[in-house]
Amino acid sequence: MEAKRKMINSVNVVGITVLTIGIMLFLLGFFENGYAALTSIGIGTVIGAVFIFLIGMFFVATEEMLEKTKKGAPL
């Protein structure tokens, strides 16, 4: 249980950090006139943060399902 909690916490910290950086880049590129390239970089960073979070949650769910199958009836 502790390993899953550590994985979830680390995925949350990394996801929130990357998401914050992406939002800041997007807003800087969107509202400032000379930084149009930062808008697309910010959008990509936000999407990357979402993928990092989803893949981390998938790993935790996969690990939990593997633990549950070991407890089942032997074949």
* 12 part of a folded domain: yes
Q: Quick check: is 9 in a domain? A: yes
Let me know if 49 is exposed, middle or buried by CB neighbors in 10 A (0-12, 13-18, 19+): buried
**21 falls within a domain:** yes
Residue 72 lies in a domain: no
**Domain membership flag for residue 59:** yes
Q: Residue 20 — very low, low, confident or very high, per pLDDT cuts 50/70/90?
A: very high
Q: Backbone dihedral region of 71: left (phi > 0), alpha (psi from -120 to 50 degrees) or beta?
A: alpha
- Residues spanned by the domain of 7: 2-66
Which pLDDT does position 72 carry in this prediction?
59
- Please indicate, yes or no, if residue 35 is contained in any of the structural domains: yes
Number of H helices, E strands in the chain: 2, 0
What are the tens digits of pLDDT across the range 36-45?
889 999 999 9
Predicted TM-score (pTM) of the model is 0.80
Domains in the chain, number? 1
**Residue 56 located in a structural domain:** yes
Hey, what are 43's tokens?
A: 């959008």
pLDDT in tens, 46-73: 999 999 999 999 988 888 888 777 665 5
pLDDT at 3 over 90: no
Whether residue 74 lies inside any domain: the answer is no
Q: How many CB atoms lie within 10 A of CB 33?
A: 6
